[in-house]
Structure 1
Amino acid sequence: MKPEWKAFLQNDGAEFSDGDSVASFGNPERERRVTTSGNVICDLSHYGLIAIYGEDAPSFLQSQFSNDIQLVDAQHSQLSSYCTPKGRMLANFQIFQRKETYLLRLPGTLLETILKRLQMYVLRSQVTLEDASASLVRIGVSGPDASSMLREALGFPVPEQINETSTQNDITVVKLSGCHPRYEVYGLLEPIQDLWNRLNVHCAPVGSDCWGLLNVLAGIPVIQPATSEAFVPQMANMELISGVSFKKGCYPGQEIVSRMQYLGNLKRRMYRIHITADQADPGDAIISDEKGENTPVGQVVESYPDPNGGLAGLAVLQISATEASRKLRLKDNKSSKIKLETLPYSLTDSNPE
């Protein structure tokens, strides 16, 4: 995080937790409530950026990721993932284009690992990969009035459809799915400071957990270090949220991902859950009363404090363990209870392209 940006946020009341993550702006409980009902702005410095550019960048990325990079241009971003040869996701990310450079937005905790792995496969390709986290300031904007407020503050139209992007006046806007219109905005320090001040008149600044909560409510998984290599893309519903292409050529794990899609042997899916507990970390085991303590039936993907108490989360579970009669809880918390919630998309709409 740029020191000037951090100082700017601290002057606005930001309280930081570990590293560059904003914990809150002084009232976490109120911030959670307004996140699901009102207009909010959020610093996204807990995400990192990997820049990929050069003559061979499109072909290189096409050979590495689960989605069709040919569909990414100045007006279109996409969700995608990077898999092991066994089809397990090392990471997933939003990828967009800015000034002929591809940018991968992913958790900062995974950036170094993914960057090093990608660099191993460059070989003779004319492509450069680098950590671009310090080059652009990034914020999130969400709420019922986010589109109109952002348009007025920027002075140019903002994307209307999910995953559409636009860049004007050196500011890039990416529209994401959410319970309200939701955007990520990227730019240089001073323009983003000015934008923050304009939006702050009608938006509530919130901590990074609130942006995570919005991902959960949208059913968008974010792979963390604890869940890296844990899930094939379909287990985390990536093909249901346009994160996998079944028409493109080969990439690491492609054969396994395609076989799972066409043979229909998927036994685990990602579900939205509510947990009666104070904490549940990525990778935490979930058990059912039927199978007992020693046989986990799933894992937590992520969870965040719910405005109504407990935790709102996403979890990959054995499909057979989600029947109404099964009681689920965290393996290491005997008093916890897990209830299935409704996702904003159907789990049965998986149609290969």
Structure 2
Amino acid sequence: MSASWQTFLDQTGAVRDTDGTVLHFGRPPTRVALPQLHVCDHLRIVTLRGPDAVTFLQGQVTADVREVSEQQYSRLAMHLSLKGRGLVSMRLVPAEDGFDLLVPTAMADSLLKLLGKYIVFSKASLALDDTRVVLSLVGGDAVPAVPDDLPAGKAAFTADGTAVRMDGHRTLLVLPVETAIAHWAALSEGRGIGGAEHARLHDILAGEGHVLPGAEDLFLPQALNYDVLHGVSFRKGCYTGQEVVARMHFKGQMKQRLQHVSWPGDTPLPAGTVLRDANGKALGELVDSMTAGGQVQALAVLRLAHEGDLYLQSEDGQAHALGARPETLPYELPAR
């Protein structure tokens, strides 16, 4: 990452983990609804550029990338295994000469490796971009960097960079480092400042999950509700794993889906952790979790028919109750 950006964040009071990720700026996240500015240090920008960018990406991911390139939508998307399970996920953002792929930092190398196997046959190129950063605005007054009339789900090119209206509360900004530093005072005015922990918490509250290390090749895109969130198209052409995804959509029935749950505690669990019922039967796996205000907020793919607590199984085979309760997603799931 840019040395000038990292120095600026440190001077602003950044608190980092052992990998250098900016977690927060002295105040860990809570669920209190206040206007906020987040440094999305949990995301990396991978650029896809070239005359074949649209054709190449259309054959690699679940979303219809023409909606991104032609209509300037921003879409979640997955690159799948032959089994139709997600190997890596990303947010697609239109760029003037291709796409920006916003990918979890821990999965950026995997994305480059997986897509890099196929791009050698295309007039397109992939690269990590350390000259720009991702910020997130939550609530608060309008700012010049975001067009007032930008609809939810769409992106816009501005004089400052790219703005993506995620929903009625959240907006992503993809900005050059120099621009982010120059506009920091205006963007942060009247807002609390947060880091990766705050941004991930708001992703969880929005019901948006990603494939993280430990959960590769586990989830169909429908299991992460990507069909609800416009992250999978059933009308586009072929892509790796498409037959499995289409068969489940047209002939199958989803018995597990992404759900938001919480339990008391201050220790998040790693992605891929198996969650069980009181009898030790597996109910699903954890997607992501964060602590906020003495509670663990989590996204997990769980059996839709399950009611009651969730349990972890220790090495001695004993089941330990989490004290979990269901939380409400901000969107409706398809009828079973």
TM-score, reference length from structure 1: 0.88
Q: Equivalent residue for 1:6?
A: 6
**Alpha carbons 1:330, 1:337 under 8 Å: kept:** no
Q: 1:159 to 1:232 in 2, by over 3 A?
A: farther
Alignment partner, residue 249 of structure 1: 237
Q: Distance in 2 between matches of 1:205 and 1:4?
A: 19
Residue pair 2:37, 2:136 contacting (<8 A) in 1 also: yes
**1:90-129 alignment to 2 at 5 Å?**
90-129=87-126
Counterpart of 1:301 in structure 2 is 287
Q: CA deviation at 1:58?
A: 0.6
2:274 is aligned with 1:285: yes
Hey, what does 1:78 align to over in structure 2?
75
The alpha carbon displacement at 1:198 in A equals 1.0
How is 1:328-339 mapped onto 2 (pairs within 5 angstroms)? 328-332=310-314, 334-339=320-325
> How many residues end up aligned between the 2 structures?
330
In the alignment, the residues of structure 1 paired with residue 120 and residue 186 of structure 2 have an alpha-carbon distance, to the nearest angstrom, of: 46
Q: Secondary structure of the equivalent of 1:240?
A: coil
Q: Is the 8 A contact 2:310 2:321 kept in 1?
A: no
Q: Distance in 1 between matches of 2:296 and 2:286?
A: 11
For residues 40-71 of structure 1, give each alpha carbon's deviation from its aligned partner in whole angstroms, at most 9, with x where no partner exists: 11111321111111111111111111011111
Aligned to 1:161: 151
Tell me what 1:24 maps to: 24
Shift in Å, 1:319:
2.1
The answer on whether the counterparts of 2:150 and 2:156 sit within 8 Å (CA) in structure 1 is no
Q: Indicate yes or no: 2:221 matched with 1:233.
A: yes
Q: How many percent of aligned residue pairs carry the same amino acid? A: 28
8 Å CA contact retained: 1:87, 1:257: yes
Secondary structure of the structure 1 residue equivalent to 2:61: coil
- Consecutive unaligned residues of structure 1, counting only runs of 5 or more, are none
Conserved 8 A contact 1:284-1:331:
no
CA RMSD in angstroms, aligned pairs only:
1.8
SS at structure 2 position matched to 1:64: coil
Once the 2 structures are TM-superposed, how far is the Cα of residue 159 of structure 1 from its aligned partner?
A: 5.5
Q: 1:137, 1:186 within 8 Å by CA — same for their partners in 2?
A: yes
Q: Which residue of 205, 216, 225 maps to 1:217?
A: 205
Match of 2:194, as an amino acid?
A: V
Task: Output aligned runs, 1:333-352, within 5 Å.
Answer: 334-348=320-334
Please tell me whether the aligned partners of residues 77 and 165 of structure 1 are also in contact (alpha carbons under 8 angstroms): yes
Aligned-partner residue type, residue 190 of structure 2: H
Question: Which structure has more helix as a fraction of its residues?
Answer: 1
| 3-state DSSP of counterpart to 1:72 | helix
Q: Cα deviation per residue 1:190-246 (whole Å; 9 max; x = unaligned)? A: 211122211222111112111111011111112101111110011111101111100
One-letter code aligned to 1:310: Q
Q: TM-score, structure 2 length as denominator? A: 0.93
Shift of 1:170: 4.0
Contact between 1:296 and 1:331, CA under 8 Å: does it hold in 2?
no
Q: Structure 2 counterpart of 1:56, which letter?
A: D
Deviation at 1:330, TM superposition (A): 2.9
Unpaired stretches in structure 2, ≥5 consecutive residues? none
Aligned match of 1:314:
299
